[in-house]
């Protein structure tokens, strides 16, 4: 891959991009004469995978890792170090955890490291221009979408939720604006009908790490070509909240399936089940499969979207706008997951189905 041929956006992707594309070898980057001095900035697991690729590449020296401060998490609210911090410590890389770069002291500390390149991946902080101007070869970002589509905080999840067939990774030069910088490299990857956001997260992190070292090699030898983004085609991937997990059964089964996969593993898909004469029950669902058309099942054809109609092939069948959606298991609030028949018997008091047992909202 050379020059503009390295950069492709989703509009230019051929139909039927195979999922295996992401597994194809990325051209091994040529090592610069002198290893690049890299300062890495990132926080969660996605960023840790990128950092691991840098640590394994002989073309650079990671001289420092910047990551978010340790923060309380979980029910016990105990502080847990970010995954990038743990990996950096394991490899003897100095770790910095400033709250932000609003003070001259924080900026000066970074400047004193004299980095050739600043590599950013899922850091979680907006970097001011004073920081972006520090590295000799510029700041580079690893973004998990085919820019300019899905700029923002949750590109992996939003791609799945939208029902996209293709996603990918973009390596870009950073600007002060959100994910608007010119693109250095881009590689596509197909999204399978059963892929969850969690599945793609791991695959895209590996792809991003491999592609990053190629881009850094090009920056080092002066062959990198930066292609401006088409801002008119830009879309935005808003950060997920727990409310994004709520399932809308008025949508088609294909859309419901995409939504559930997109919020798996976090925040998780859920609905509230109304049971006659009983309290509403909140329940979580994992990805299932798309069932038959309602028009092909006369006994369910008039079912209101969200109606639990019973079991189909030992799976819990829920009516969508056009089809049934079938799930293997369901987890009532504060309970362990249970299979469809156990839920039907235990919570809906109906071990066999005669239609219209409850409504999910």
Q: How far apart are CA 309 and CA 340, in angstroms?
A: 12
Query: Tell me, what's the pLDDT at 19?
Result: 38
Regarding whether 207 and 182 lie in a shared domain, the answer is yes
Query: Tell me, what's the pLDDT at 299?
Result: 76
Query: Tell me, what's the pLDDT at 3?
Result: 36
Regarding whether 287 and 230 lie in a shared domain, the answer is no
Domain boundary among 186, 216, 237: 237
Regarding whether 252 and 215 lie in a shared domain, the answer is no
User: CB–CB of 6/185 below 8 Å?
Assistant: yes
Regarding whether 175 and 42 lie in a shared domain, the answer is yes
Query: Tell me, what's the pLDDT at 17?
Result: 34
Q: How far apart are CA 127 and CA 102, in angstroms?
A: 9
Query: Tell me, what's the pLDDT at 63?
Result: 98
Regarding whether 141 and 61 lie in a shared domain, the answer is yes
Query: Tell me, what's the pLDDT at 189?
Result: 97
Give the residues of the chain that fall short of pLDDT 70: 1-33, 74-77, 301, 350-356
Regarding whether 332 and 289 lie in a shared domain, the answer is yes
Domain boundary among 190, 208, 237: 237
Domain boundary among 206, 237, 268: 237
Q: Give 5-57 pLDDT, tens digit per residue.
A: 333 333 334 333 333 344 445 666 666 668 999 999 999 999 999 999 999 99
Residue among 163, 171, 205, 164 at smallest CA distance from 187: 171
Distances (CA, A) of 149 to 82, 91, 204, 231: 28, 35, 15, 9
Residue among 188, 168, 208, 163 at smallest CA distance from 14: 188
CATH code, domain carrying 105: 3.40.50.170
Regarding whether 251 and 220 lie in a shared domain, the answer is no
Number of domains in the chain: 2
Query: Tell me, what's the pLDDT at 75?
Result: 63
Regarding whether 53 and 86 lie in a shared domain, the answer is yes
Distances (CA, A) of 15 to 10, 11, 19, 123, 194: 10, 10, 12, 33, 19
Regarding whether 259 and 185 lie in a shared domain, the answer is no
Residue among 188, 168, 170 at smallest CA distance from 180: 170
Regarding whether 285 and 154 lie in a shared domain, the answer is no
Q: Give 114-146 pLDDT, tens digit per residue.
A: 999 999 999 999 899 999 999 999 999 999 999
Regarding whether 197 and 103 lie in a shared domain, the answer is yes
CATH code, domain carrying 327: 3.10.25.10
Regarding whether 280 and 255 lie in a shared domain, the answer is yes
Query: Tell me, what's the pLDDT at 145?
Result: 98
Q: Which pTM value belongs to this model?
A: 0.88
Q: 219 lies in which domain range?
A: 3-237
């Amino acid at each position: 891959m050379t020059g503009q041929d390295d950069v492709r956006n989703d509009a230019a992707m051929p139909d039927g991009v195979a999922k295996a594309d992401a597994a194809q070898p990325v051209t091994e980057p040529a090592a610069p004469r002198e290893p690049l001095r890299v300062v890495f900035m990132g926080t969660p697991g996605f960023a840790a995978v990128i950092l691991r690729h840098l640590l394994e590449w002989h073309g650079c020296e990671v001289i420092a890792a910047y990551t978010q401060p340790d923060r309380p998490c979980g029910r016990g609210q105990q502080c847990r170090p970010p995954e990038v911090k743990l990996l950096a410590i394991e490899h003897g890389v100095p770790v910095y955890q400033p709250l932000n770069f609003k003070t001259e002291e924080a900026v000066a500390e970074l400047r004193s490291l004299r980095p050739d390149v600043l590599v950013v991946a899922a850091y979680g902080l907006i970097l001011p221009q004073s920081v972006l101007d520090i590295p000799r070869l510029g700041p580079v970002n690893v973004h998990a979408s085919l820019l300019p589509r899905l700029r923002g905080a949750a590109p992996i999840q939003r791609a799945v939720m939208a029902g996209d067939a293709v996603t990918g990774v973009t390596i870009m030069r950073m600007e002060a604006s959100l994910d608007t910088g010119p693109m250095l490299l881009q590689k596509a990857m197909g999204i399978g009908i059963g892929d969850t956001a969690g599945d793609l997260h791991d695959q895209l992190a590996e792809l991003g790490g491999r592609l990053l070292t190629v881009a850094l090699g090009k920056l080092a030898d002066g062959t990198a070509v930066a292609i401006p983004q088409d801002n008119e085609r830009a879309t935005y991937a808003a950060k997920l909240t727990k409310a994004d997990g709520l399932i809308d059964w008025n949508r088609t089964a294909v859309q419901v399936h995409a939504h559930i996969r997109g919020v798996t593993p976090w925040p998780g898909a859920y609905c509230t089940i109304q049971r006659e004469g009983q309290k509403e029950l909140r329940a979580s669902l994992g990805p299932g499969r798309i069932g038959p058309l309602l028009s092909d099942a006369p006994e369910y054809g008039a079912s209101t979207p969200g109606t639990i109609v019973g079991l189909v092939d030992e799976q819990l069948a829920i009516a969508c706008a056009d089809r049934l959606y079938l799930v293997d298991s369901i987890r009532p609030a504060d309970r362990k997951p249970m299979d469809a028949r156990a839920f039907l018997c235990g919570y809906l008091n109906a071990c066999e189905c005669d239609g219209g047992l409850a409504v999910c909202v």
